[in-house]
Each structure stands twice: as C-alpha cells, then as structure tokens.
C-alpha cells in the first residue's frame, strides 16, 4: 500500500501539471496574453482538481467501488462523477468569486458556474476513465498472478499429499489391515486394495485440477474412511449429512480428504475408545458450507502452520479471495469442528 501511494501522488501531480501546461501551450498557439490573472486561475484549477479527485478516490475505496463493477454500481459511479464535478466546479467558482479571478466579460456567477461545470466535466470523466482502466489492468494482473500461485500451490499440495500417503506409517497400517483380511475375508481385502488405489490415484491427479465435484471428493473420503475402519473397527463411527444438491458443487481437490485425515490423526487416534466423525454439506443462502466434526479437543491455539490447515487456507484464498473462509474450533463437549464456507457456483 505504501508503495502504491507515492505512485498515485506522482501520477496525480504529473497528470494535472500536464493539464495545466496544455492551457499555456494553447495560449501560445493562439497568441493569447498570459496575464497574472490567467496564471492564478490555472494554479487554482490544478490545486482544486487534485483535492477533488483525491476526495473522489477515497470515496471510491470507502464505498468499495473498485473494478470490476456490476449492476447498480455503474449508476452509483455515474452519480458520484456528477457530484464530484459539482464539488470541483462550485468550489472553483466560489473562490474565483471571492478573490476576483473571473473574466470581467462574464459577470454572472451562475453563468461562470455553468461554464466551469461543463468544462470541468470532461476532465473529471477523463480522470475517472484513466483511474478505472489502471485498476482493471491491476486486477487482471493480480488474477493472473493468483492463477500462477494456485498452480504452484496445487503442485506442492500434490507432492506433499503423495508423501503423506506413501509414508511408512500409512503404508504399514493399510497393508497390514489388508493382509489380515486376505485369509479371513478375501472379498473385503480386494475392496480395500481398490480403495487404497483410488486414494493414491486421486493424489496424483490433484495437480491437474483446480477444483473437483464434491461427489468425487466425497467418494475419495469414503474410501479413506473404509480403510481406516479396518484398522479402528468399532472405535471409528462415521455419519454423513449431505444435501444431494451440493454434490455438483466444485471444491478444491483433496481438501476434504486432508481435513478428514487430520480429524483421524489428531482426534480419533488419540481416544482410547475411538470416536465419531460427521461430515455435513449444505447450502446457507449463496454459501456452500462443509463441516467436519470429530471426537477430540483442541488444547490452546490451533497450529495454522500444519500442512492440512495451511494448504486449506491458502487454496481457499487463492480460489475465492475473501468470499471463502475456514475455521476450526472446539464444540460443546469433547468435539472439534472444522468449517469451510465457499461461494455457491451456479450451473
């Protein structure tokens, strides 16, 4: 922000100075005499122009009217341009009247004001166009930068996710569980191998996707929990509360899987009697809400540097900006809830 302000003021001073110099240039071309009255009026126009447009800029920021604008915001911008033009013209006319800088040929204040209003209107519109074009370019550049960062983050996620799944602890637990089933329940063993294969395949495909359907992510989570159920048996209880209309909604790939894995690692596995996991997906107006609730308790401040939480927060910010949110907290009793809210994507 501090770097942008000097650039803004530099553009303001240079732009308005060029505007003022254009009057002197035209006066030379048309052989008009450059009197002290003429110079003073130009200086007054420039000073009030800089002040008025800075007030305009602050109003634009205060009313959150930076591009892209939609719907009624365009009408609001038009009204603001008229108001700032009125402010600029009226203040100029009043000061000109008070210190006698007006052209003696135009004695009527109302005529001088109307002249200033229509004459200044062009420069205010021109200033607005330049300001908004600049911000459109900045927004486009930021979007492209966010896209590059997202691609980089997704690739980093894919590598870390593969490492997290193909670590000795996970493989040892999964394969031992499957080995125990080979003689006892060969059909379940084959199913477990398929579930493990699905998890690893999805991990490797994550780098190719920015989002995936909730239905696909939910199937992956079910495979993961089925594998963990072999290990925990009756110590792991799972409940799903899924609004079917949310299944087509797009979510960051592997996000739900990562949060459920955290719930197992930091919640269920630390409970002697095991615990309970509940996954909820529902709409709250134009918001898609995902909840992962699990038996457990958070002691002190949540570590936001951990891979699961950090990757979730970063991807939500890059994909949805301030329209998405993530929080994790203790609920009443021995329960922890992770909540993700993202804007609904309409088909």
More confident residue, 309 or 106: 309
For the chain, domains (ranges, CATH) are: 4-145 (no CATH), 166-343 (3.30.565.10)
**Alpha carbon 53 to its chain's center:** 28
Nearest partner of 149 among 319, 3, 276, judged by Cα? 319
The answer to whether the CB of 217 falls within 8 A of the CB of 199 is no
Whether residue 230 is predicted with pLDDT greater than 60 in this model: the reply is yes
In the beta sheet, which residues pair with residue 287? 284, 343
Of 187-201, 231-245, 274-288, 332-346, the poorest mean pLDDT is in 187-201
pLDDT on residue 105? 65
Summarize pLDDT for 108-148 with one digit per residue, the tens: 777 778 877 888 788 899 999 999 888 888 877 777 777 77
Whether residue 329 is predicted with pLDDT greater than 50 in this model: the reply is yes
Residue/partner pairs of 72-80 with CB below 8 Å, 24 or more apart = 77/128, 80/56
Q: How do 335-343 and 325-331 pair as beta strands?
A: antiparallel
Whether residue 4 is predicted with pLDDT greater than 60 in this model: the reply is no
More confident residue, 341 or 104: 341
pLDDT on residue 165? 45
Q: 278 falls in which pLDDT band (50, 70, 90)?
A: very high
**Average pLDDT of the chain, as a whole number:** 82
Rounded CA-CA distance 185/177 in Å is: 11
Whether residue 300 is predicted with pLDDT greater than 90 in this model: the reply is no
Rounded CA-CA distance 40/34 in Å is: 10
| pTM, rounded to two decimals | 0.51
Summarize pLDDT for 145-175 with one digit per residue, the tens: 777 777 766 666 654 554 454 445 556 667 7
Of 39-43, 176-180, 193-197, the poorest mean pLDDT is in 176-180
More confident residue, 283 or 264: 283
Whether residue 2 is predicted with pLDDT greater than 50 in this model: the reply is no
DSSP 213: E
Mapping DSSP to helix (H, G, I), strand (E, B) and coil, where does residue 287 land? Answer: strand
DSSP 214: H
H/E element holding 242? Answer: strand 236-242
């Amino acid at each position: 922000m501090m770097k942008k302000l000097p650039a803004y003021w530099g553009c303001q001073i240079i732009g308005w100075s060029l505007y003022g110099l254009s009057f002197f240039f035209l006066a030379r071309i048309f052989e008009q005499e450059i009197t002290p009255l003429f110079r003073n009026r130009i200086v007054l126009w420039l000073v009030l122009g800089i002040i008025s447009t800075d007030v305009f800029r602050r109003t634009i920021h205060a009313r959150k009217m930076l591009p892209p604008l939609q719907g009624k915001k365009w009408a609001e911008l038009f009204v603001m341009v008229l108001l700032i033009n009125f402010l600029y013209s009226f203040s100029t006319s009043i000061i000109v009247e008070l210190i006698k800088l007006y052209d003696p040929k135009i004695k009527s204040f109302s005529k001088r004001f109307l002249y200033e209003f229509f004459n200044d209107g062009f420069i205010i519109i021109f200033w607005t166009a330049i300001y908004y074009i600049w911000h459109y370019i900045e927004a486009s550049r930021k979007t492209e930068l966010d896209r590059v960062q997202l691609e980089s983050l997704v690739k980093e996620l894919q590598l870390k996710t593969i490492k997290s799944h193909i670590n000795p602890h996970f493989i040892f637990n999964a394969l031992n569980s499957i080995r125990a089933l080979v003689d006892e329940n060969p059909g379940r063993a084959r199913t477990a191998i398929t579930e493990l294969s699905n998890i690893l395949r999805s991990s490797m495909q994550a780098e190719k996707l920015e989002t995936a359907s909730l239905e696909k992510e939910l199937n992956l989570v079910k495979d993961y929990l089925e594998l963990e159920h072999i290990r925990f048996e009756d110590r792991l209880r799972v409940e799903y509360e899924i609004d079917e209309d949310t299944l087509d909604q797009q979510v960051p790939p592997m996000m739900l899987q990562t949060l459920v894995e955290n719930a197992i690692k930091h919640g269920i596995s630390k409970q002697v009697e095991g615990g309970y996991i509940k996954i909820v997906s529902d709409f709250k107006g134009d918001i898609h809400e995902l909840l992962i609730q699990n038996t457990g308790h958070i002691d002190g401040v949540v570590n936001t540097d951990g891979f699961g939480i950090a990757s979730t927060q970063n991807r939500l910010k890059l994909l949805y900006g301030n329209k998405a949110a993530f929080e994790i907290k203790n609920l009443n009793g021995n329960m922890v809830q992770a909540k993700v809210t993202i804007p609904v994507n309409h088909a």
